[in-house]
Amino acid sequence: MFNIILFGPPGSGKGTQSEKLIAAYGLIHLSTGDLLRSEIAKQTSLGIEAKIIMDKGQLVPDAVVVGMISSALDANPQAGGFLFDGFPRTVAQSEALDTLLSLKNTEIGVVLALDVSEEELVKRLLNRGLTSGRSDDNTESVVRARITEYHAKTSVVARYYGQFNKVVHVKGEGSVAEIFTLLCSEIDKRLS
Ligand code: AP5
Ligand code: MG
C-alpha cells in the first residue's frame, strides 16, 4: 500500500492534481473539503455546523475531520493506497492520521507539497469563485483568511513530516500537465 499526502495552500492545485493522480495510480481520493461539502449538500447537522466555519475561511475542529477520515479508511479495506487532499491540516490531525494508518499496518509514503505564490493563489481562487458556487471563493477577505489560517496552523504539517524525511516540494506554477509530470516522477522514484 502506498499512501500520499498532496499538500499545499488553498488554490495550490491539490484537487486538480488529485483527479489525475488517482486515475494514474489507482488510489482512493480522500478530500476532507469534498467530504464536508457533501455533508453541506445533504444538510446534515455536521454540514450545517461546518458551513458556518468554512464560510469564515477557518478550519473545522480536528475531531470532525479525523472522524470522517477514520470512517473513510474503514470503508475501503481493499484500497491499494490513499491520496489525502486537504488533510492533515494541523499537527494534531497528522498525529491522528499516523495512528490510524499504523493500526492498518501502513504509513504515509510521501508528502508532495505544491509551492505557489500568494498572488497566484488569490487570483486562482477568486477566478474559480466566479463559477464554482463555493461560498468560500466569493470574497477576497475569505480567500485571504484561508491563506492566513494555512500559515498559522497548516504550514507546520510540512515540518512535522519533514522530521521523517517524507516531504518533497514541487513547483505548483506552470501548466497542469507539467506539474502532474513532476508529481509522477517523485512518486515513481519511491515506488521503484
Ligand atoms: P478545501 O476544500 O480543502 O479547500 P482549500 O484547501 O481551500 O483548497 P482548494 O480546494 O480551494 O484548492 P486546491 O489546492 O484543491 O486547488 P484546486 O485544484 O481546486 O477546504 C475548504 C474548507 O474546508 C477549509 O477552509 C476548512 O474550513 C474546511 N476543511 C477542509 N479540510 C479540513 C481539514 N483537514 N481540517 C479542518 N478544516 C478543513 O485549484 C484551484 C483553482 O486553480 C481551480 O480553479 C483550478 O482550475 C485552478 N488551477 C489548478 N491548477 C492550476 C494551474 N497549474 N495553473 C492555473 N490554474 C490552476
Ligand atoms: Mg481542493
What is the C-alpha end-to-end distance of the chain, expressed in Å?
Answer: 13
CB-ligand 1 contact for 176 (6 Å cutoff): yes
pTM exceeding 0.85: yes
Whole-angstrom Cα distance, residue 165 to residue 110? 9
Look at residue 157 in the predicted model and tell me its pLDDT. 98
Q: What is the pLDDT of residue 138?
A: 87
For the annotated catalytic residues, the residue numbers are 14, 89, 128, 134, 146
Neighbour order of strands in the sheet with 3-7:
28-31, 82-85, 3-7, 108-115, 167-171
In the chain the domains, ranked by start, together with CATH numbers, are: 3-191 (3.40.50.300)
Amino acid making up residue 105: N
Pick the ligand that lies closest to the CA of residue 147.
Answer: 1
Cell 490531525 locates to: 93
Q: Is the CB of 129 under 6 A from ligand 1?
A: no
Among the bound ligands, the one closest to the CA of 132? 1
User: Which is it for the CA torsion 60, 64, 65, 68, positive or negative?
Assistant: negative
pLDDT digits (tens, 9 = 90+) for 67-100: 999 999 999 999 999 999 999 999 999 999 999 9
- Ligand 1 in contact with 51 (CB < 6 A)? no
pLDDT the model gives residue 119: 97
